[in-house]
Structure 1
Amino acid sequence: MKISLAYLSLFFIFTACNKEKKMASVKQQKPNIIFLSIDDLRADLGSYGNSEIKTPNIDALAGTSMVMLNTHCQAAVCAPSRASTMLGYRPDSTKVWHLGDEFRKINPNAVTMPQYFNKAGYYTVNIGKIFHNYMPDSISWNEPDLKPFPYNTKEYAKRDAETYYYTEAALKDQKRKRDLLLEKRKDQKVYGDGWNRGPAIEGADVPDSLYFDAMQTQLALETIDRIKDKKEPFFMGLGLYRPHLPFVVPKKYWDLYPVGSVSPAANPKLPKNAPVMSANSNYELRAYTNPHKIGRPEDAPLPEAYADSLKRGYYASVSYIDACVGKLIAGLKERGLYENTVIVLWGDHGWKLGDHNGWGKMTNFYIDTHVPLIIKEAYQKEGKRIEALSELVDIFPTLCDLTGVDKADYLQGTSLTPVFKNPELEWKDAVFTQFRRRARVSKDGNEYMGYSMQTEQYHFIEWYQWDNDKKEKGDYAATELYDHYVDSDETVNIAENPDKKEIVKQLSKQLSAGWRGALPKKQVVINESENIRFSKIKS
């Protein structure tokens, strides 16, 4: 009996030791990465202080993550924002300034984030919108541009994922508008094969599982099942399309927001004294079917009832995406993968919901540049809310630090890991955005480039004439200045106020010094060169 007990004790000790060794081995492995991009997601979430929107799953993730409260994109439109984030340097370096600029044609040897992590030992998979819709950059991934069936068939190859409707009336309207467009532009290539037309809002009484983003989420979990036992950790880029227009989600999410239940924009007018090039034209919303004429921000506002419908549609779309995020996280936990996975949830730019009498993005206003950024580290138990100024270009070096991957010396962002450890650390003085205002959109018909800088107190913007043939800025055009200590909604441009003359001079000098001049003072500048070094990945 004594011998049996001794053997039993040894067995339990041996089993416990093996379990500890196994756990230690798991922790030594590089963590997996879920890179979760949500299109047009502004910082309107419960975890960012919005008490009207329902986002319980994202809020739960935020509760045990690093929540960056003051993150800004590098350009408030898809292609340049995503190119900058995925390459690790800014629009004046990527040369991607607007929707049609294709980074791979401009920089054929550029190394994207998934390419970089693949070289460091990661198996990379792409589902959904990570780069811009029609430029998924297939060479960036081991498995590029995966789509759920039947959307991976030839019939749907030219369509954008945000163009699917589910009611007979909406489908009929979409086809009619597409037919008119194809007739008007006969023998011309049209964006999304002309399918990006139809009602701006729809709420079909059908299950989540029929909608594209829910299908993508299910495909992500099925793909994880297929790749999780590979010897390499995985890097999965999952790009969800809502709340991008049209606001098409199941009726049950609309039901969360009854008529009149959401507050209208706090700043429904263009800023007083705003220069002519500061506003976009609302042309994105105008492309869809609306019951009222969509004017410019300088025109009369939309009728209150329709503005309410659009805002409720945006909120319903965010709540639907929140459900997708919840399903993804539950799936990671069920598979025992959640702890050893870094999750990065981010929006590529903000979106005006009647703010400045605008609908859409494409300005340098704070509402368009401010974005959510939530980062869960591997084995993180406690969340932090961090006020430090940050930028989407910071994601690349931060992910390197969180996974033990060496950082490239050309990255123009700053790893956020120091403020993860100490949120009170002295950090960047400013963050930077820019926007190219195209001539056909500008109210005065001229082309401009606006350079924007956000400090703790001030939002400062300088506009210049822009020569898009030479790709260079010309003469100075205008200045905007907003004091967020007294005017956080940016209702009055005070750049011309006599008592602001000195601060405008100081801020202009700071803007000219750029991102390098705003780096944390105790950080070593990793690359002083003005030229970006593009290096091919060696096989």
Structure 2
Amino acid sequence: MNTTKLHMRPLIGAFLVSFAGLSLAAEKPPNIVFFALDDMNDWVGALGYEQAITPNMDRLAESGVNFTNAHTAGIFCAPSRTALFTGRHATSTGCYTTQVYFHSLPELTPLQLVFQRGGYSTHGGGKLFHHPAGFVDLRGWDEFFVRDDGQKRRGWPLDSWETDMAILPKPYPNSIFNHDREPANKFFLEWGPVKNEDEEKMADTVRTEWACELLRRKHEKPLFLAVGLYTPHFPNYAPQKYFDLYDAEKIKAPAYKKDDLEDLPPAVRKAKQARGAIHRRLESLDAVEDAIHGYLACISYADAMLGRLLDAIESGPNAENTIVVLWSDHGYHHGEKFDWGKHTLWERTSNVPFMFAGPGIARGAKVSATVSLIDLFPTVVDLAGVADAQQRDGISLLPVLRDPAAAKDREVLLPGMKPNEYAIMNRDWRYIHYADGGEELYRLEEDPNEWHNLASRREHAPVVKRLNAAAPKRFAQPLPSNNEIRLVVDGETFRWESKGKQKKRAGGASN
């Protein structure tokens, strides 16, 4: 297949003009567009991963600022997205796992409400929050798009596959991993092509086209538009043409080290040895590269959706006043540390694509300084010039977006799934601390695969001490998780209640 057909035209208008020095709180505030991906690690051409075919992500990177050492703010979907839309770490809020922040912390103003109060028209759609019913914070949205109105009567779930509208391959299950058994979690380690003619019916295509239609229109108010794709989260189903971009015989798996787990603290070593059964099964089926093929196909499908979005901006009335931000909620392991998944404090979970392009932003810049998705909230608020009266945990990257040479490396925090569990990262080191006192330390330039845990070596004790000192001095206690409260759906609205009590709490009612 001729892959050049998937490469879009170079961006014009806002994306090919450097507006460094422009006041972003000018007469006409910029439109802000989020393009959010799910389980997307840093396998992007513009991030140095040559195996992925990502012309539009590369195009966006060339048109703006590409943060090459960006890290998630949560190690799976729920805490990551909570941190992003509240601008607060789990260590500040207590939202370490599946807590519903707007139930327990209704006073905490989310990003979309800050934009709305700042005069923006706010539109959200797709997987922006955790996908089960009851997790969409509907406050502050002028519109929140779901492709099926029936979702509103089920508590606004954001899944792509648990409905009659899902586009599935035939046969199902499709992957060799699941051929001879009932699929674990229905779609885990499922991959395979669907018909090319079904692309327009797929949930992520429908969401993208909804966003494109908005971008083709002129708006009286500045626009905050956030569209979230489910891909490349499992199941890795994509139209056949995206599988055809890759030669299955040439796909390479990451490097694995046979005794990689031996120098880990006992508890995490035991957990990952058990988790390794997944990798061993894939190896026994000679399916590791096949599984990676499915993930790469979905990355290219997501990339094509980004291309549609960028083209809609370029060809519409918003070309000169729109900032695009690409992010992923966290990364994903494909056998590294013998894991297939996230939920870890290692590089495969933490490193994510993070790109900005548009007016007021330097063009064609790579920034290797360490940043976090916790920085997104204060950065876009500054870009928009809207007021935010609440304390957030990140820093604004606006000075770096204007002058990438001003970037300075710093230590960033990645909370784990409980208090006193975290990673501290900078350009040179990753320090991991577990709640039971276990520690890991990796020197990243010399050991990018994080194969050699240096935490117990005496000569590195000063580094451990210094990085440990950068951790929070106190950790918020976990709030009630979704399993500890009760979802009540009332028509097209919902609310959460404490179990055993009929006391209503603030949350899911739409404006």
Query: What TM-score do the two structures reach when normalised by structure 2?
Result: 0.79
Higher RCO (CA-CA < 8 Å; seq separation 6+): 2
Contact 1:83 1:94 in 2 (8 A): no
C-alpha displacement of 1:498: 2.9
Deviations 1:404-427 (A, max 9, x none): 223435011111112223333363
Counterpart residue number, 1:357: 338
Match among 181, 185, 200 for residue 190 of structure 2: 200
Kindly state the Cα deviation for residue 511 of structure 1 after the two structures are TM-superposed. Answer: 3.2
Quick check: which has more Rg, 1 or 2?
1
Deviations 1:191-218 (A, max 9, x none): xxx9854771121233321221111111
Stretches of structure 2 that go unaligned for 5 or more consecutive residues are 1-22, 476-505
Q: Supply the distance in 2 between the matched residues of 1:154 and 1:117 (Cα, whole angstroms).
A: 27
Query: Structure 1: how far apart are the matches of 2:354 and 2:151?
Result: 30
1:418 to 399, 404, 408: 399
Q: 1:232 aligns with which of 218, 221, 225?
A: 221
Alignment check: 8 A CA contact 1:282 1:359 kept: no
Matched, 1:295 2:285: no
Secondary structure class of the residue paired with 1:419: helix
Question: How many residue pairs end up in the alignment?
Answer: 445
The aligned counterpart of 1:94 is 93
Partner SS, residue 140 of structure 1: coil
Which residue does the alignment assign to 1:139?
139
> Are the equivalent residues in 2 in contact too, given 1:37–1:130 (CA < 8 A)?
yes
Deviation at 1:330, TM superposition (A): 0.6
Assess, with a 3 A threshold, how the Cα gap between structure 1 residues 279 and 353 changes in structure 2: closer, same or farther: farther
Is residue 220 of structure 1 aligned with residue 220 of structure 2?
no
1:247-286 correspondence to structure 2 within 5 Å: 247-269=236-258, 270-278=260-268
Find out whether 1:123 has 2:125 as its counterpart: no
- 3-state SS, counterpart of residue 131 of structure 2: coil
Residues 512 and 32 (structure 1), Cα distance of their counterparts in 2 relative to 1, 3 Å cut:
closer
Describe the shift of the 1:279–1:261 C-alpha distance in structure 2 as closer, same or farther (beyond 3 A): farther
Residue 426 of structure 2 aligns with an amino acid whose one-letter code is T
Equivalent residue runs for 1:326-405 within 5 Å: 326-378=307-359, 380=361, 382-405=363-386
Residue 459 (1) aligns with residue 430 (2): yes
What's the TM-score once normalised by structure 1's chain length? 0.75
- Secondary structure of the 1:339 match is coil
Deviation of 1:42 (Å): 0.7
RMSD: 3.4
- Tell me, in whole angstroms, the C-alpha distance in 1 between the residues paired with 2:370 and 2:31: 27
Q: Which amino acid aligns with 2:46?
A: S
Structure 2 distance, partners of 1:96, 1:266, is: 34
| Counterpart code for 2:295 | Y
- Contact 2:69–2:427, Cα closer than 8 Å, also in 1: no
For residues 287 and 174 of structure 2, what CA distance do their matches in structure 1 show?
22
Matched position secondary structure for 1:400: helix
Q: Which has the higher helix share?
A: 1
| Residues 428 and 445, structure 2, Cα contact 8 Å, conserved in 1 | yes
How do 1:8-157 and structure 2 match up within 5 A? 28-98=27-97, 100-134=98-132, 135-144=135-144, 146-148=145-147
Distance 1:218 1:491 in 2: 43
- Give ranges in structure 1 of 5+ residues lacking alignment: 1-23, 182-193, 287-293, 438-447, 466-476, 516-534
Could you tell me the percent identity over the aligned residues? 26
Deviation at 1:157, TM superposition (A): 6.4
Query: Structure 2 counterpart of 1:331, which letter?
Result: A
Query: Aligned pair in 2 of structure 1 residues 155, 406: CA closer, same or farther (>3 Å)?
Result: closer
Q: 1:198 to 1:384 in 2, by over 3 A?
A: closer
Per-residue CA deviations over 1:198-254 (Å, capped at 9, x if unaligned) read 7711212333212211111112123445xx444211111100110000100011111
Give the Cα separation in 2 of the matches to 1:90 and 1:303. 40
1:360-417 CA distances to partner (integer Å, 9 max, x unpaired)?
A: 1110001111111001132657221111111101111111221222343501111111
Instruction: Give the whole-Å Cα distance in 1 for the aligned partners of 2:39 and 2:252.
Output: 19
- The question of whether the paired residues in 1 share the 8 Å contact of 2:174 and 2:190 is answered with no
Cα drift, residue 282 of structure 1 = 8.1
Q: 2:303 aligns with which of 313, 322, 331?
A: 322
